[in-house]
């Protein structure tokens, strides 16, 4: 029988004049797998932190009946915790410059190490590579407890969640069933709201036209001519009065019906982009970029050797690879933003016609926090304001929200502003480093549409499989210290190649053995009671020998 893990009542929280949260009742049971979704700025992370006890609401109570752990969006994560879990997630310690994915692994290992009754996760897939994603999904699926998950990973929401909480206008709409059921119900509601709005507008128009006709008819009723006799005039006046009264009564009835007509709000349908972005000054050459790299090194870590990269003009290329392999470092070299610790030998040749736009994960560096969204995006926009606002509406910043100062916005809203600014600049080539991080699900769908129709050249880093599948026309992946190009999208890359069967099996076995070595290494560093160091050392050396044999066979 499911056990109550958490209950909340009467939650109220306002930011300034805006009522952010207004939730009457919430309950989480031990068997719940809940996906918490909503637009950026809706208050998802704030609600999660209130439920976790990290923020105190203005009103309301939260009662927890078990241990709670949180996987936060940001932070290095604690180096302590279950050593076996840390080894499985390859959690790093003692290093200053961790990649985004490595920090995410640390935060995940820290939360799971608490063995909580309720696990809350705020965008836990951020920056994770495919291996990390697979391990996280496996751990979440097998977790013995309740889960409250904020995520933009649609595949994870589909496979894990059995209930969706949709946070809209400060309230929770509860949808039993998974993410696909939620999408179906959302679309049905949109269709129903659109139909009801159209019916409301049609009835409103009909009543207005009827009232106008009544007014015109009343004005056309003629009074008695002056030459009529008294008896005729009195008869005509009575008929005129009756007619005017009847028409006035009918008009008032129509006006009363209009006043009491149930108002239907227009559904938030997104405007369409009718102008193709990125084609004001096209690149006519075959390639926008040609890069030859004899060495790419970060500190003492060698990332690439004797490799090359070509970006065909008009292509949409996804750059993928495991955490820490050098994806962001390579983008920084290509854009001229490499840090001093980066060592690069080679040649980067951009076509002279390229007008480059760069989306850094730290996009706040390119934005003015004291200016509004509209001021930030219009600073270098080559499009008129009405078109810029249409683009921002597609990215989820509609109406008056574009006039809010950037410093008051959530991380996702700032990311939308940075993306909108790039799309509206006079660029024909975009380099995007994790553009979907912190974006809500609805904005991701619109961004996919915008980038899929982009008229320029794209190179982007992403770990989101569905985003890559819907956007990329080719893949470049890190394979060891070389770059491998796959012409075609995600499906072509994943298509099995008969000759790769034995090699793939060897690679999988090597990964499994390396995982065992990592676990043994952690046990050797901190032996548990009953561990024999010499036996652990022998097992470690044996695993290393078997790995070397497999690697020799694969050459």
Task: Give per-residue pLDDT as tens, 145-154.
Answer: 999 999 988 8
Task: For the chain, give every domain's residue range.
Answer: 4-177, 186-259, 287-494, 498-553
- d(CA 11, CA 50) in angstroms, rounded, equals 9
Residue where the block lists tokens 């065992």: 516
HSE-CB at 130 with a 13 A cutoff on CA atoms is 11
| Residues forming beta bridges with residue 432, ordered by sequence position | 359, 460
HSE-CB at 410 with a 13 A cutoff on CA atoms is 21
- d(CA 51, CA 63) in angstroms, rounded, equals 8
| Higher-confidence position of 36 and 361 | 36
HSE-CB at 511 with a 13 A cutoff on CA atoms is 13
Average pLDDT of span 87-94: 74
Flag whether pLDDT at 328 surpasses 60.
yes
Which CATH superfamily includes the segment(s) 4-177?
P-loop containing nucleotide triphosphate hydrolases (3.40.50.300)
Flag whether pLDDT at 549 surpasses 60.
yes
Nearest to 272 by CA among 133, 148, 390, 166: 390
The set of residues, in sequence order, having a beta carbon less than 8 Å from that of 71 and lying 6+ positions away, is 107, 108, 111, 119, 120, 121, 122, 124
| Higher-confidence position of 346 and 268 | 346
Hey, which of 58-62, 252-256, 537-541 has the most confident mean pLDDT? 58-62
Predicted pLDDT of residue 545: 77
Flag whether pLDDT at 511 surpasses 70.
no
pTM above 0.75, yes or no: no
Do domains 4-177 and 287-494 share one topology? The answer is yes
| Residues forming beta bridges with residue 357, ordered by sequence position | 430
HSE-CB at 185 with a 13 A cutoff on CA atoms is 14
- d(CA 498, CA 505) in angstroms, rounded, equals 12
- Domain 287-494 falls in which CATH fold? Rossmann fold (3.40.50)
- d(CA 6, CA 91) in angstroms, rounded, equals 30
The set of residues, in sequence order, having a beta carbon less than 8 Å from that of 105 and lying 6+ positions away, is 77, 89, 90, 91, 92, 128, 132, 323
Rg of the Cα atoms in the chain? 31
Least confident of 4-8, 46-50, 449-453, 493-497: 493-497
Q: How far apart are the first and last CA of the chain?
A: 55
pLDDT band at 61 (very low <50, low <70, confident <90, very high): very high
């Amino acid at each position: 029988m499911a056990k109550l893990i958490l209950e909340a009542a009467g939650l109220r929280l306002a930011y300034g004049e805006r009522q952010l949260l207004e939730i009457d009742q919430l309950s989480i049971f031990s068997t719940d797998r809940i996906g918490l979704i909503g637009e950026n700025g809706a208050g998802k992370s704030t609600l999660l932190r209130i439920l976790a006890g990290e923020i105190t609401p203005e009103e309301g109570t939260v009662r927890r009946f078990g241990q709670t752990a949180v996987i936060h969006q940001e932070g290095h994560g604690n180096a302590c915790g279950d050593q076996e879990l840390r080894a499985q997630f390859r959690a790093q310690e003692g290093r200053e410059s961790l990649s985004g994915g490595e920090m995410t692994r640390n935060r995940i290992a820290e939360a799971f190490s608490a063995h909580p009754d309720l696990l809350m996760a705020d965008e836990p897939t951020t920056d994770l590579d495919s291996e990390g994603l697979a391990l996280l999904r496996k751990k979440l699926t097998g977790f013995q407890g309740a889960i409250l998950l904020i995520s933009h990973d649609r595949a994870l929401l589909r496979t894990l969640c059995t209930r969706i909480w949709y946070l809209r206008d400060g309230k929770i709409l509860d949808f039993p069933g998974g993410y696909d059921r939620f999408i179906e119900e959302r679309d049905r509601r949109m269709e129903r709201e659109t139909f009801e709005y159209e019916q409301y507008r049609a009835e409103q128009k009909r009543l207005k036209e009827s009232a106008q006709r009544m007014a015109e008819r009343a004005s056309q009723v003629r009074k008695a001519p002056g030459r009529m006799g008294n008896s005729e005039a009195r008869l005509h006046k009575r008929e005129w009065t009756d007619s005017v009264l009847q028409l006035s009564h009918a008009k008032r009835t129509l006006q009363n019906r209009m006043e009491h007509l149930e108002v239907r709000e227009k559904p938030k349908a997104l405007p369409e982009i009718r102008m193709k972005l990125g084609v004001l000054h096209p690149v006519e050459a075959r390639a926008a970029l040609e890069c030859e790299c004899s060495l790419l090194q970060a500190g003492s870590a060698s990332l690439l050797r004797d490799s090359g990269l070509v970006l065909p003009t008009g292509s949409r290329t996804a750059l993928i690879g495991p955490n820490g392999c050098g994806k962001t470092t390579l983008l920084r070299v290509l854009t001229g933003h490499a840090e001093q610790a980066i060592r690069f030998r080679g040649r980067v040749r951009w076509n002279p016609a390229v007008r480059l736009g760069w989306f850094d994960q730290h996009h706040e560096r390119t934005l003015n926090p004291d200016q509004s969204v509209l001021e930030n995006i219009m600073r270098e926009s080559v499009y008129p304001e009405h078109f810029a606002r249409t683009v921002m509406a597609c990215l989820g910043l509609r109406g008056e929200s574009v006039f809010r100062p950037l410093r008051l916005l959530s991380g996702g809203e700032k990311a939308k502003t940075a993306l909108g600014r790039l799309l509206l600049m006079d660029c024909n080539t975009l380099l995007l480093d994790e553009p979907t991080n912190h974006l809500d699900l609805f904005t991701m769908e619109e961004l996919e549409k915008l980038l899929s129709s982009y008229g320029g050249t794209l190179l982007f880093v992403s770990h989101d499989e569905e985003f890559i599948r819907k956007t990329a026309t080719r893949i470049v992946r890190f394979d060891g210290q070389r770059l491998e190009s796959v012409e075609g999208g995600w499906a072509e890359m994943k298509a099995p190649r008969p000759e790769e069967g034995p090699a793939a099996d060897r690679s999988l076995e090597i990964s499994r053995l390396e995982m065992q070595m990592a676990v043994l290494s952690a046990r050797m560093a901190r032996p548990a009671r009953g561990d024999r160091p010499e036996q652990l050392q022998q097992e470690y050396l044996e695993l290393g020998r078997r790995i070397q044999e497999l690697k020799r066979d694969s050459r």
